[in-house]
Structure formats: structure tokens, C-alpha cells
Structure 1
């Protein structure tokens, strides 16, 4: 897996929407119940119950999206004692939740620091150029549309899942798909783990194509002993949606200058 750190593709305008999305993601994460436990590593039952109740309220749940109805019982955020000992209390929902609107709110929720920082890194590197190409308003609409495509794409193949789906990964995958279509030859600085982290400057089509291939493999259930809690199918759906929406804009997109005679960012010596 390569880690992108910077792209060589200057933008003409300040990416205010990208910055606002990053700020919103960080602020919502800091306001999420139990965030302190992700920093200290200490997880208590009360924190777990509050977090479960928070996610059931604000996260997107595939079963709710496809069937359009809320479950009869959800975590209330309280701790109780049952036949099997202490646990989270389950009761009737004390809120009126709109499943379609939960797709939007779920885009600003994250399951931990690594989840948040990884998403924000990709958004900062690749989002500014897509915002520059689309303009602020169209970029925001594009971002939300890709997030919805990713979430509903995942829900369609996991229609009976009751697990909360959170994160901006699907929307950001759409940004990556658009970048691949619009700036395939732009150079991207990446760190490649090979004994140490080796810095390389690679074309975007290699970096993003490799990323998408990994998501496609993992979404099929191959390559990982367990998929864990990562919604790889949402990444695939969001990426494809971004490619489709950006395709009509290929013509007229100004390409960044392509460096020649460069090896890992330095001029290669010519043999005489």
C-alpha cells in the first residue's frame, strides 16, 4: 500500500469547501461520545453504550435505507443489568430518524483517529484540484452525490445489515475517481514501504488505479482474512460514481506540466 503525501498539481483558487469539510469532520469527531477513550485507549461500558446510541441515531444503516423503517429497539445510551450481567439498555427509538438524511450525517462521523486522519489526508491532497475544476458549489454537490452513491451502493449489496455505516470514505473515493479521470498524469508524491518508507513521485493513474484495484479486491472478500468493519464496496461505488460524473469534464481540463527527465524528484544524469 502506498501513502500519498502531496501532488504536483497547483490549484488556481483557494479550496474553501475542502477546508470546511475537513474542519467539519474534525469538529464532529471531537464531539462524538467516547472520543476520549480513542485517545487514552480506555473503554468503559458506559462510553460504549453512549457511542452505540449516538451511531444508531446519526449513522446510515443499510437495513433502514433499503426497507425504510426503523427497528423496534435501539440502544438508549444507558447501562442496565440483565440476566447475563451489565449491558446496554435497548428501548424504543426516542427520536424521529430519516434514513435518507442519515446518509448525509454519516459522512461526518468517523470510527477513530486513523479513520479520520486517513480520510482527511486524501481529501486535502486530491480535493483541492477537483474543487478548482468544478467550482465551490458544484464541488460540494458532487461530493455529497458521491457519498450518497457510495452508501446506497453498499446498502444494496448488504440490504439486511444492521451495522451503522459511517465515514467520508465513499465521498472521498468519488473525489479520487474524478481526479483519475481529469488528471491521470499529474505527479503524486507517495511513501512506499520497502524496508523503510521510500519517497517516489508517481503518475496519479498508477497511485489511484492501484488504490481502486485494492478496494475492488477487498470488496470481493479476497486478499483479507476478514474484511473487518471497512465498507470496501462503498469505496468502489463512490469511486465509480466520481469517474462517471467527471467524465464529461475531461475536455477543457488544464493539465499540470508533466516533468521530464526526473527520477524520484531529482534530475537523472545522462551518460556521456
Structure 2
């Protein structure tokens, strides 16, 4: 229901990590069995797709299990696996528009760690919300939601151009807090029920909500307190101290050599 297409918020340096993450997600998707399966795959292809998702996806019941049933590595591989073209393109669109500015503020290494840890944290949050679930959780949505939460704190008034389907895709320019705040509200199952829109059972909305909240809190509590954070106003420059008055013997009156002073 919210399709951002551009933000008027240029970064000050190249967003190599954001572009690298987008490329990595696309390459992983194209190398998997889902990219070219078609709209109606046969039984053999469908079985191969399911095996792929279960192998690389994060399964809550296993993440919170004991012993050998507690694999941690799928938490990270699941961030680069998508269940279809719309799933992939939607995630990469949000990452492309909002990721560069968060990377610009954090720096490349910090931003990469923030993205990966945020994605892992949102995956575990979803697992704790449904610890008996046996279906695989895949996609970069949790990590990207963390980026969105940080963006809305760092740049709440940045202008974002978006398309709204029910308004015939008319471009609208609104502040980031309205776009991303609206996106956040749409992830809440309670709101979906209120407006009579049934959320898809295949979408891990709690991973989106938890990732967004984690990113917002991190930006408010950590980034905002740093020297480059938005909550800190720039220090006022101290005016230079004028040099002391010194006698200028060259231009002084010979009869009064100490009577004229110049800066």
C-alpha cells in the first residue's frame, strides 16, 4: 500500500555497503531454484523450492531448540533468500532508497554490522513470538526494517516521493516520518483487522515490527548521542580573539611616538 520511489536526501559519499547488499541478494536469488520456476511449477520443482527454503531459511522451532536442533547459521543465510520476485524487488527498493543515508551516518563497517545484527535480532524476535512454528522464515525484511527504524529517527523530515495504489499511483511527496510511520502501522495485525484487510499468513509481520523498533531505539540511544548524531546541535564557533594593541612606530607622530595604536 506504500511504494516509495525516491527520497530528497543525498548522501555525502558512495554507499558501497548498501549496493553490495543489494547485489548479494540478487545474486543469491538468481542462483536459487525459485528465480526461474515460473508461475505454476510442477511437483518436482515445487519440492526442490521447498527443500531450498527449509535448508537456508530460519525455522523458529529449531532456533529455540536444544542440542543439534539449534542451528544458528540459517539466521544469517535466511537474510539473503527470497521466496519470489515481488518479495525480492520490494525489499531491495526500500533498501536502495533508505539504506544509503543510514550508511552515510554510521559509516560502512558500523552500518554492515548494524544491518546483520538487526536482521538476526528481528529473526529471533519472530521466533520467540511463535516458538513452535516449523515453517522457514526467509528474506531481508527484518534487517531492512531495522534500517527503516534508524532512518525515521535520523531524517524524520526528509521528503520522500511515494506512490499510493488506491490513489491511482499519483506521486506524492511527504515527510519520511509519515511514509515509514504508515508502513510500520500497516505491519500491525491489529490495524489490518481494524480496516478489514487480512494480512498474509506467509508474511512475518512481527519480524518487521521488531526490526523497526530495534532500529529506532538504536538510533535514539546510540547514534543520537554521538558527535554526529542528529540530537546534538553543532557547537557555536568562538570568534577569534583580536590581536593586542601594539604601537606602530612607523606611522606615529615623532612628537608622540606612543600615541597611535593599530590592530
- Please give the range of the TM-score, normalised by the shorter of the 2 chains: 0.7 to 0.9
Q: How many residues align?
A: 227
Cα distance in 2 for partners of 1:2, 1:35 equals 25
Aligned residue number for residue 138 of structure 1: 110
Cα distance in 2 for partners of 1:69, 1:174 equals 30
Normalised by the length of structure 2, the TM-score is: 0.81
| Mapping of residues 1-272 of structure 1, within 5 Å | 1-37=1-37, 40-68=38-66, 99-217=71-189, 223-247=196-220, 248-250=222-224, 252-253=228-229
Cα displacement string for residues 1-37 of structure 1 (whole angstroms, at most 9, x for unaligned residues) = 2210000001011010101100010011011124211
Where does structure 1 lack aligned partners over 5 or more consecutive residues? 72-97, 256-272
- Give, in angstroms, the shift of residue 217 of structure 1: 3.3
- Give, in angstroms, the shift of residue 254 of structure 1: 6.0
Cα distance in 1 for partners of 2:223, 2:215 equals 11
- Give, in angstroms, the shift of residue 116 of structure 1: 0.2
Task: Please give the secondary structure, in 2, of the residue aligned with 1:162.
Answer: coil
Aligned residue number for residue 81 of structure 1: none
- Of Structure 1 and Structure 2, which has the larger fraction of its residues in strand? 1
Cα distance in 2 for partners of 1:70, 1:227 equals 31
- Give, in angstroms, the shift of residue 228 of structure 1: 2.2
Task: Please give the secondary structure, in 1, of the residue aligned with 2:173.
Answer: strand
Moved over 6 A (4+): none
Cα displacement string for residues 168-200 of structure 1 (whole angstroms, at most 9, x for unaligned residues) = 000000000000111001110111234521111
How big is the alpha-carbon RMSD for the aligned residues of Structure 1 and Structure 2? 2.0
Normalised by the length of structure 1, the TM-score is: 0.78
Q: 1:203 to 1:3 in 2, by over 3 A?
A: same
Q: Please identify the structure whose Cα radius of gyration is greater.
A: 2
